[in-house]
Chains A and B, each alone.
Chain A
Amino acid sequence: MVNESGWLSGLLNMLRLEHSRWWDTRLWVVQSAIWLALLNGLHAMILYIETLERGNVVVNGAPFDSVSTFFMLMSVMAPIGVMILMQGSVVREKQSGTAEWVLSAPLSREAFIVSKLVANFLWILAVLVLMQGVAFELVLMAFGAEVVPVLNLLGGLALQGLHLLFWVTLSLMLGAFFDGRGPVVGIPLVLLTFQDLIGALAAKYLPWITLLFPKRLPELAAQVAAGEPVYSWVPLIAVTAWMILFTLAAIWRFRREEF
């Protein structure tokens, strides 16, 4: 018999299910192809144009800063991918009745949310971050540029991973609060698009406030990957606090959900 109890009840089985959504349906293959094309394909294209114009490419300095470009592309595009991947994670199950079905088994509501968080984040980390990081180095090699030191790159990718985890937890929380996909995609998209504007307006009154915004974390990630000194660790602490808050809010709301 299964030994899990309390909030762990059913967690392992749900983790297996969430993993199977990526593995059995070949979702990981499709997503890998999409993100390799979008991130590394674009990066390779830029490098190709640079090479044509200047004859060579150098990392971490003139004439072209590959690290900043790649991390900037990832910080803008990958969150949109996360929003698309996560939009139906909770809402789809509420709408289709599968949430009711699995919750009629000995599955805790906490385990339902945690399984979606953990399994999806690990796959997103693997496909949208780590795989892209490896491809990034391969692209640099292919263009004869010097590769980024592995530890620097891993540090930068870890912070990029945390940045995406912010969007994963935000999407999960919105999925727990809303019954339709509109707000689950729309709210993060508005935040991603307008955080600069919102930050600029808010900074007039609270100059430090932009450090609390998620966009600061990819900037930190690029600095770490480039081996530059980090200007502040506050964005890391802030984003971690946001993620904890979103996760707790998602669990709090989902525990009150009626099916």
Chain B
Amino acid sequence: MKVMSRTETVDSTLTEGSMPLARYESLAIHTHGLSKAYGATVALRGLNLMVPRNSIFGFLGPNGAGKTTTIKLLLGLIRPTEGGGTVFGHDITDDNIEIRRRVGYLAQVPSYYMHMTAREILRFKSRFFYAGPRGMIEERVEETLGMVELDDKADRPIKGFSGGERQRLGIAQAQVHRPDLLILDEPAANLDPMGRRDVLRIMESLREHATIFYSTHILDDVQRVSDAVAILNQGRLLAQAPIEELLAGSGGVVYYITIKGGYDEAYTRISGQEWVSSIGVVPGGVRTTLQVGVTDEAVAEDELLRLAVCDGDTVVTEFGRRRFELEDVFVDLVEGSNNGQ
């Protein structure tokens, strides 16, 4: 999958003609120029999204980026104004009942029939997919309740459920029929750390059997569980890539050296090297951190630390290769996009 430049948008980079048929078949979701407008307000602009099968795919973006709109378009809950897409090869506009047979969905604010218990909710949902036998449906419901640890509350009206319990019920109803694709809209939003941990654990346990496409703005969670991500802002796709590629960044390899005391000499020695492409200084009181961009990783690994300490006076307290956090990438992309880059 293509890694985008940190400030490049990808709206027109993934053209259908450039992709072989086998690649399409390996996709759970594929959209092309998918757009949605509400009057003069454009919620989604020409989205070209490719979600590989059996991946955990994080769909990121600030509030109002168009994440929920995309999800609703995929499920046929709203209609595109332009463009289209497929889920497992089924057209999202004309064939969305077939899509919904293979998809489990958790809404951002899940709503259920309040007169039902958790068990009744799961039973009701199962019957959209299974005609029987009744015993097997009950078995599946029981198993699902156990997976989300709601077996002891299964026969209580859901009116009294806490936020975390409702969210677990939401995941349970989304996957009670063992869908090929789980679409989760902000599954961990509004949950306390324990609730979030539970939800992520459940998601990881489902990855063997299904593709999981989930939207979120909790970047730590994405970094922990996702295989690939797409970043959306103001209805535009800014990047999509496997998470490792995105975290590696496209600005070259960067090392950090934290020096106690004076750093001028070390700075001069390092900046004079051919293989150093940039050098930044992050002051921090007694300690100063140099961020050194390099063009040759192997040479840097051998030489950099030695160059810093070779005068015998410079004290290095920390040294390592800087790993971009998803937050860095996200903020960089979104701010770049907001500034019109």
Chain A residues proximal to chain B, CB less than 8 Å:
1-3, 5, 9-10, 12-13, 16-17, 21, 24-25, 96-98, 100-101, 103-108, 258-259
Contact = CB atoms under 8 A, between A and B. Distances in A.
B64 interface: no
Contact of B127 (A9, A13, A25): A13
A97 B72 CA distance: 13
Given A24-B115, A259-B72, A259-B78, A1 B97 contact: no
**What is the interface of chain B mostly: helix, strand, loop, or mixed?**
loop
Interface stretch (B47-55, B100-108, B199-207, B276-284): B100-108
B77 A2 contact: no
Interface in B93-142: 97-98, 100-101, 103, 105, 107, 109-113, 115, 124-125, 127-131
B188 interface: no
A102 B113 CA distance: 10
**What is the interface of chain A mostly: helix, strand, loop, or mixed?**
loop
A101 B111 contact: yes
A9 B77 contact: no
B79 interface: yes
B111 A100 contact: yes
18 contacts: A1-B129, A1-B130, A2-B127, A2-B128, A5-B97, A12-B127, A13-B128, A24-B115, A25-B115, A97-B111, A100-B107, A101-B111, A103-B76, A105-B100, A105-B128, A106-B97, A106-B101, A259-B72
B172 interface: no
Given A258-B77, A258-B79, A259-B77, A107 B107 contact: no
A-B interface, 10 closest residue pairs, ranked by CB to CB distance from nearest: A97-B111, A104-B105, A105-B128, A258-B78, A259-B77, A13-B127, A106-B100, A106-B101, A98-B111, A2-B131
A101 B110 contact: yes
A21 B115 CA distance: 8
A20 to B, nearest CB: 8
Nearest to A256: B79
B177 to A, nearest CB: 9
A225 to B, nearest CB: 37
Contacts of B98: 106
Contacts of A258: 72, 77-79
Interface string B124-167: 11011111000000000000000000000000000000000000
B75 interface: yes
B203 to A, nearest CB: 18
Nearest to A107: B128
Nearest to A21: B115
Nearest to B114: A96
Nearest to A98: B111
A193 B127 CA distance: 42
Nearest to A17: B124
A103 B77 contact: yes
Contact of B128 (A10, A25, A96): A10
B113 A17 contact: yes
B97 A98 contact: no
A3 B75 CA distance: 20
A108 B129 contact: no
A96 B77 CA distance: 15
A101 B98 CA distance: 16
Contacts of B75: 103-104
B76 to A, nearest CB: 8
A25 to B, nearest CB: 5
Given A106-B100, A259-B72, A2 B129 contact: yes
B84 to A, nearest CB: 16
Nearest to B71: A104
A5 to B, nearest CB: 8
Given A106-B97, A258-B78, A2 B130 contact: yes
Contacts of A12: 127
A98 B107 contact: no
B222 to A, nearest CB: 23
Nearest to A9: B97
Contacts of A9: 97
Contacts of A25: 115
A202 to B, nearest CB: 38
Contact of B107 (A16, A21, A104): A104
Contacts of B76: 103
A101 B115 contact: no
Interface string B42-80: 000000000000000000000000000000100111110
B39 to A, nearest CB: 13
Given A258-B72, A259-B78, 20 more contacts: A2-B130, A5-B97, A13-B128, A21-B115, A24-B115, A96-B111, A97-B107, A98-B113, A100-B111, A101-B111, A101-B112, A103-B77, A104-B107, A105-B100, A105-B125, A106-B97, A106-B100, A106-B128, A107-B97, A107-B100
